[in-house]
């Protein structure tokens, strides 16, 4: 198997999907039984950036959101907030191999963009077209697609303003010609494809990903650019080091028992808590003036010493994700929401799985996006269980909406959703690290 990503033409992907569905009842090896079929009375529907999301679950920007077929597979199994792989101006990188270790908790090398920018755009545009076509193919009613493509860009303002990134952003906002070209390419395989009405705006939202060690003033400058000049709904990805060295190491090493080393420099060069608060306040005010949404993505990966012998010795650090990060990031969310009286818009990605998703949703940490759990055996098929468990928990609570679910989880159906979510977050943060699920052994 090649260690390089190889894009596949849209007509070949469609032919592959239609043939496999007809002959085997599967798409990309995923059984139709694992497909998510939306219903108008699904209790977990939510609003995001002014759009309807059919589920509060999605995929985090990562290696699994680079290729068209991966994005489609995630959508088939219930992902509706689709964070596209982070792009940057440097798009010809030599990636250390292996670059991901997902035996249990996850580790990765920081540089990971594997396609050139134009290739990334083509993959996202093809996925956008094919998802709309699949909705038509499945006979799902309604003009709104029920999903969002969320861009992810990095890693500094100078790079974002480079011509190749600017071209990418423009294409993602106005893809009409490329969409029509692709539909005409699909017409022989899917008669009527060229007449489908598909919006040319693929995305008007972005999650900013910065390198570990990015100065706070640079983070704020980028955020202001994305909000004020580009007019994007914007989320800033924050680091788990906001919890502070003492609390973080106590959870990770002492309570959970993970024998990993988080170096002092991780806390020294990452944004400090007080600086983060200032950035959040300033960008929130800018977004309100511009009339767009602003929020946080919790959390980025955690910088740790490369002492496990998996990655090349030339990689001094690797970056932790998955279940070990979950209690840490939940407590980062709790610390920030306490600071802002529960008023922050926070999406969550850190060790999410089928069994903690109800707790996260009830605590107002949605959409919940996933990476590490999907890189394990079972892959995208694991996502369908997220929605089964969440739906079951909501039905047990007698909740028909997420707000109602938060209130009932907090013990008082009439309680305002924001107040209830904050109470649920505090309760969950208090005990999550003591759950055996997150122990190292």
Note whether 415 and 386 are within 8 A (CB). no
CA distances from 280 to 175, 221, 287, 330 (A): 32, 12, 10, 18
Least confident segment among 272-276, 319-323, 339-343: 319-323
**Gyration radius (Cα) of the chain, Å:** 21
Percent share of the chain, pLDDT over 90? 83
SS3 348: strand
pLDDT above 80 (res 99) = no
- Cα separation, 428 vs 202, in Å, equals 36
Confidence of residue 110 (pLDDT cuts 50, 70, 90): low
Q: Following DSSP, what letter does each residue of 52-76 receive, concatenated? A: EES-SEEE-SSGGGSSHHHHHHHHH
Q: Residue 401: phi, psi to the nearest 5?
A: -140, 165
| Alpha-carbon gap, residue 215 to 263, rounded angstroms | 18
289 neighbors 266 (Cβ within 8 angstroms): no
- Give the per-residue pLDDT at 102: 84
Tell me how far apart the alpha carbons of residues 16 and 313 are, in angstroms, rounded to a whole number: 40
d(Cα 162, Cα 231) in Å, to the nearest integer? 18
Which two tokens mark 297?
């993505």
Query: Which candidate, 437, 438, 430, places its Cα nearest to that of 258?
Result: 438
Q: Does 84 have pLDDT greater than 60?
A: yes
Domain boundaries, the chain: 54-431
pLDDT value of residue 109: 77
| Residue 274 CB coordination number (10 Å) | 9
Question: What are the Cα distances from residue 387, in Å, to 56, 391, 398?
Answer: 9, 6, 16
From the list 385, 318, 391, the residue with the least C-alpha distance to 352 is: 385
Q: What is the pLDDT of residues 116-135, one digit of tens each?
A: 999 999 999 999 999 999 99
Q: E strands of 188-263, at which residues?
A: 205-208, 233-238
pLDDT for the residue numbered 412: 84
- What is the model's pLDDT at position 112? 61
Residue 93 banded pLDDT, cuts 50, 70, 90: low
Q: Is the peptide bond before 285 cis (omega within 30 degrees of 0)?
A: no
- Predicted local distance difference test score (pLDDT) of residue 107: 83
Contact between 387 and 57 (Cβ < 8 Å): yes
Percent of the chain with pLDDT strictly greater than 70: 97
Q: Are 80 and 368 in contact (CB under 8 A)?
A: no
Mean pLDDT of 379-404: 96
- Residue 21's CB is within 10 A of a number of other CB atoms, namely 16
Q: What is the mean pLDDT of residues 288-308?
A: 94
Band of residue 111 on the pLDDT scale cut at 50, 70, 90? low
Residue found under tokens 């709904």: 233
Tokens in use for 141? 């009613």
Cβ proximity of 124 and 84 under 8 Å: yes
User: Given this model, what pLDDT does residue 170 score?
Assistant: 98
CB atoms within 10 A of CB 29: 11
Nearest CA to 72 among 30, 25, 119? 30
Q: What is the pLDDT of residue 1?
A: 52
How far is 6 from 18, CA to CA, in rounded Å? 21
Cis link prior to 55 (omega < 30° from 0)? no
**Rounded Cα distance, 270 and 303, in Å:** 10
pLDDT exceeds 80 at position 297: yes
Residue 100 has pLDDT above 90, yes or no: no
Plot region of 225 (φ>0 → left; ψ -120 to 50 → alpha; else → beta) = alpha
pLDDT digits (tens, 9 = 90+) for 25-61: 999 999 999 999 999 999 999 999 999 999 999 999 9
The model's pLDDT over 200-230, given as tens digits with 9 standing for 90+, comes to 999 999 999 887 778 999 999 999 999 999 9
- 273 by DSSP, 3-state: which? helix
Find the helix or strand (DSSP H, E) in which 274 lies: helix 273-290
Residue 95 has pLDDT above 90, yes or no: no
Lowest average pLDDT, out of 21-30, 102-111, 143-152, 236-245, goes to 102-111
Look over the chain and give the mean of its residue pLDDT values, rounded to a whole number: 94
Tell me the pLDDT band of 311, cut-offs 50, 70 and 90: confident
Helix (H, G, I), strand (E, B) or coil at 431: helix
Q: What angle do CA 313, 317, 320 make, to 5 degrees?
A: 125
- Which CATH fold would you assign to the domain 54-431? TIM Barrel (3.20.20)
Residue-level pLDDT at 78: 98
Average pLDDT on 338-360 reads 97
* pLDDT greater than 90 at residue 141: no
First to last CA, the chain: 32
- Catalogue the E-assigned strands of 209-284: 233-238
pLDDT tens, 251-295? Answer: 999 999 999 999 999 999 999 999 999 999 999 999 999 999 999
């Amino acid at each position: 198997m090649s260690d390089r990503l190889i894009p596949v033409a849209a007509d070949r992907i469609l032919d592959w999907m239609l043939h496999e569905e007809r002959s085997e009842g599967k798409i990309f090896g995923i059984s139709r039984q694992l497909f998510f079929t939306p219903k108008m009375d699904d209790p977990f529907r939510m609003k995001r950036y002014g759009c309807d999301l059919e589920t509060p679950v999605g995929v985090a920007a990562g290696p699994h959101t680079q290729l068209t077929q991966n994005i489609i597979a995630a959508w088939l199994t219930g992902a509706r907030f689709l964070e596209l792989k982070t792009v940057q101006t440097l798009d010809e990188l030599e990636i250390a191999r292996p670059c991901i270790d997902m035996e249990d908790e996850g580790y990765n090398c920081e540089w990971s963009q594997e396609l050139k920018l134009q290739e990334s755009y083509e993959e996202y545009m093809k996925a956008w077209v094919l998802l709309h076509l699949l909705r038509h193919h499945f006979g799902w009613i309604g003009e709104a697609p029920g999903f969002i493509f969320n861009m992810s860009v990095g890693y500094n303002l100078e790079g974002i303003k480079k011509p190749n990134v600017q071209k990418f952003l423009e294409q993602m906002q106005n893809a009409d010609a490329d969409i029509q070209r692709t539909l005409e390419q699909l017409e022989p395989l899917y008669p009527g494809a060229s007449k489908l009405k598909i919006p040319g705006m693929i995305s008007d939202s972005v999650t900013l990903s910065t390198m570990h060690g990015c100065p706070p003033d640079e983070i704020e400058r980028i955020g202001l650019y994305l909000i004020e000049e580009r007019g994007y709904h914007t989320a800033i990805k924050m680091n788990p080091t906001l919890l502070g060295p003492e609390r973080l190491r106590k959870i990770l090493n002492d309570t959970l028992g993970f024998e990993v080393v988080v170096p002092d420099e991780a806390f020294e060069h990452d944004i400090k808590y007080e600086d983060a608060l200032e950035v959040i306040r300033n960008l929130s005010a800018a977004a309100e003036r511009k009339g767009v949404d602003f929020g946080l993505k919790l959390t980025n990966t955690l910088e740790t010493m490369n002492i496990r012998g998996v990655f090349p010795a030339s990689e001094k650090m690797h970056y932790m994700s998955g279940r070990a990060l979950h209690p840490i990031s939940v407590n980062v969310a709790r610390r920030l929401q306490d600071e802002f009286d529960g008023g922050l818009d926070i999406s969550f990605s850190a060790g999410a799985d089928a069994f903690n998703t109800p707790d996260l949703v009830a605590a107002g940490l949605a959409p919940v996006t996933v990476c590490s759990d999907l890189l394990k055996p079972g892959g995208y098929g694991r996502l369908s269980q997220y929605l089964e468990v969440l739906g079951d928990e909501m039905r047990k609570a007698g909740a028909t909406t997420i707000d109602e679910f938060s209130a009932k989880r907090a013990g008082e159906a009439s309680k305002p959703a924001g107040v209830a979510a904050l109470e649920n977050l505090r309760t969950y943060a208090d005990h999550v690290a003591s759950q055996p699920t997150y122990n190292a052994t």
